[in-house]
A and B are shown apart, each in its own frame.
Chain A
């Protein structure tokens, strides 16, 4: 077990990268604390699998270093890094039984048979596969196969990190939830560092203590699920997390006041000094309410999602969503929007540019 440090990591799949666009991974500096449960969240093609493969050693980065407990492992092959990885599609050794599959990583490292048997029994019990230990692995259902893949990752107790590369892709929806809970439970029991790669926010937010959000080869924000939801550091995080995502409204500044469509909008606190660029106001639909006063707009769509309704209001070509409990207005109605000031933030060129007012909001 170890703390993993990524230092000035960059990677390009081209032999001679020209501009920053040639890099699948742009300048990543990250610390993964020992024993943490991390999720690496981002849309397809954002570089999360590249990052994972660099940590596991399947890829050598173009630039930068990977340190395990301060020791440089950048040039080490995967089998010498003491890591485990679970892949998107279950990888099992067809001709072996479940037991032999689980024992394989230990056997290859010359662990004595008694210890192997003990570890396999423990892991099988955790994964609830004890009753199928002596079956041929080839005939198992996809979710059991993926369990076996996970088991091979977890069976070694000397691993520095266990990585999961979208492991629930091929699992049926009703089993996804079960396996996800299982994983969380396993993390608590084995306390290995775990990194879980996914593009599914629910998976990331339920599994991880810390979520690393990536976009276009860059880390956009690192934080607890609450932090990401409450205070997205980038409009992308706001969009990507939450359903529906954060509202982003074009804005201007005048005399230290943020304006939307000519109307002053109260923010969480002061705007960063010297803010310029493309300005936007971000607020989550959960904090937009309908009232008698406020910014006027026309309801353009109402979707009832069960527990509440999402009302889309159009104001001068900008669409704003609001979560409404109770009876929603009808399409075409004129409504007034009220934005909760403490949850309204300013973004410049995508990045957050307002500071929460001290004490006031905390109290």
Chain B
């Protein structure tokens, strides 16, 4: 027979309280806003699912969501292979290991708004190092404040610079955990370099890469500070990602109802994609 011990609830209670205050209660206020209309003065009118319908039908939301998926897709498709490649190229032992690790960790230690500001100045066409070099040395017409393509390249470049290290460090951790015997056995079995990567390194990195992709997905899907500081969503609306659009609606236009509904939809999408990805990746481990 199982022992029933109600005391266990007391141990869970503090966590429950903490989570309630920092997550559940704020989230419930968002839910509250999302189904009502308010004109201030704490006056609320019931609206039902109007805001949700409005957001889901809104072309502005579709466009921002499209841009958001495009951004996340681009940075994942660059950062993951690049991160793996760098991790493979890094030394496994000796003097250079700590040097490489510190260099890799550096970009991640810089605050997000500073990264945005750095890249803004770096890319400005007339005074920035990159902007000046491209325009006045190489003669390439590059102006992220005017040209959407240039803005996109800069914003993706910035994210790659800031976050590839995360993939590198996780992939590297996966690589160093592979015992030498695997490489030796592969050598004796006559495996090519590609086979070693395909059948030893990649499978052994699978778990850490799943986490890396998941983290990069969530972070990039919710990204706000860096693009806001770098381009402010411009030129025009060309780099207005979901979070930037959300802030415009909530704090710029003060449409709290639609903003709340959008937040919830946004949250649901992030949650669903993360769940789907994680479930698919870990499906094999269960059998």
Interfacial residues, chain A to chain B (CB-CB below 8 A)? 53, 56, 58, 77-79, 83-85, 87-89, 91, 93-96, 104-105, 108-109, 136, 139, 149, 152
Closest to A86 in B: B185
Kindly list chain A residues whose C-beta atoms are within 8 Å of the C-beta of B190.
79, 105, 108-109
In the bound assembly, the distance between CA atoms of A172 and B200 in angstroms comes to 26
Identify which of B181, B182, B187, B204 contacts A78 (C-beta below 8 A): B187
Decide yes or no: A87 and B184 within 8 Å by CB, A104-B189, A152-B189 being known contacts.
Answer: yes
* B192 CB → nearest A CB, Å: 7
> In the complex the two chains form, is A83's CB within 8 Å of B188's CB?
yes
- Which of A53, A91, A109, A136 contacts B185, CB < 8 Å? A91
How far apart are the CA atoms of A136 and B181 in the complex, in Å? 20
**B14 at the A interface (CB under 8 A):** no
Mostly, the A contact residues are mixed
* 24 residue pairs A–B, Cβ–Cβ below 8 Å: A53-B184, A56-B188, A58-B187, A78-B184, A79-B187, A79-B188, A79-B189, A79-B190, A83-B188, A85-B188, A87-B185, A89-B179, A91-B182, A93-B199, A95-B199, A95-B203, A104-B189, A105-B189, A108-B189, A108-B191, A108-B192, A108-B195, A136-B284, A149-B185
* B287 is an interface residue with CB less than 8 A from chain A: yes
Q: A93-B199, A95-B203 are in contact. Are A88 and B189 (CB under 8 A)?
A: no
Shortest Cβ distance from B287 into chain A, in angstroms? 7
Q: Which of B184, B199, B204 has a CB less than 8 Å from the CB of A96?
A: B199
- Assuming the contacts A96-B199, A108-B195, A139-B287, asked whether A87 and B189 have C-beta atoms less than 8 A apart, the reply is no
Query: How many angstroms between the C-alpha atoms of A311 and B129 in the bound complex?
Result: 86
Beyond known contacts A58-B187, A94-B203: 9 more, CB 8 A cutoff = A85-B188, A93-B199, A93-B203, A104-B189, A104-B191, A104-B199, A108-B191, A139-B287, A149-B185
B200 contacts across to A, CB distance below 8 A: 93
In the complex, are the beta carbons of B188 and A84 less than 8 A apart?
A: yes
Instruction: Give the A-binding residues of B (Cβ under 8 A).
Output: 179, 181-182, 184-185, 187-192, 195, 199-200, 203-204, 284, 287
Residues of B within 8 A of A152 (CB): 185, 189
- Give CA–CA (A93, B187) in the complex, Å: 13
Residues of B within 8 A of A78 (CB): 184, 187-188
Q: Which residues of A contact B287 (CB under 8 A)?
A: 139
For B202, give the chain A residue with the smallest CB separation.
A95
Q: Are A58 and B189 in contact (CB under 8 A)?
A: no
**Bound complex: CA A105 to CA B284 (Å):** 25
Q: Which residues of A contact B184 (CB under 8 A)?
A: 53, 56, 58, 78, 85, 87
B90–chain A nearest beta-carbon distance, Å: 22
Q: Which 5 A-B pairs have the closest CB atoms?
A: A108-B190, A87-B181, A91-B185, A105-B189, A79-B190
Chain B: which residue is nearest A109 at the CB level? B190
Q: Which residues of B contact A91 (CB under 8 A)?
A: 179, 181-182, 185
Contact residues in A for B187 (Cβ distance below 8 Å): 58, 77-79
- Which of B182, B184, B188, B191 is most buried by chain A, counting CB atoms within 10 A of its CB? B188
User: Are A85's CB and B199's CB within 8 A?
Assistant: no
State the Cβ distance, A197 to closest chain B Cβ, in Å: 13
Complex formed: what's the CA distance from A110 to B273 in Å?
42
Question: Once the chains are docked, how many angstroms separate the CA of A56 from the CA of B186?
Answer: 13
With both chains docked as a complex, state the minimum distance between the C-beta of A97 and any C-beta of chain B, in angstroms.
Answer: 12
Q: Which residues of A contact B195 (CB under 8 A)?
A: 108
CB distance from A191 to the nearest CB of B (A): 20
Shortest CB distance B166–A (Å)? 24
CA distance A139 to B184 in the complex (A): 22
In angstroms, Cα B191 to Cα A83, docked, is 14
Minimum CB–CB distance from A107 to chain B (whole Å) comes to: 9
User: How distant is B119 from chain A, measured CB to nearest CB, in Å?
Assistant: 39
- Inter-chain CA distance A230–B184, complex, in Å, is 38
Interchain CB contact under 8 A, A89 and B181 = yes
B260 to chain A, nearest CB (A): 45
| In the complex, chain A residues whose CB is within 8 Å of the CB of B284 | 136
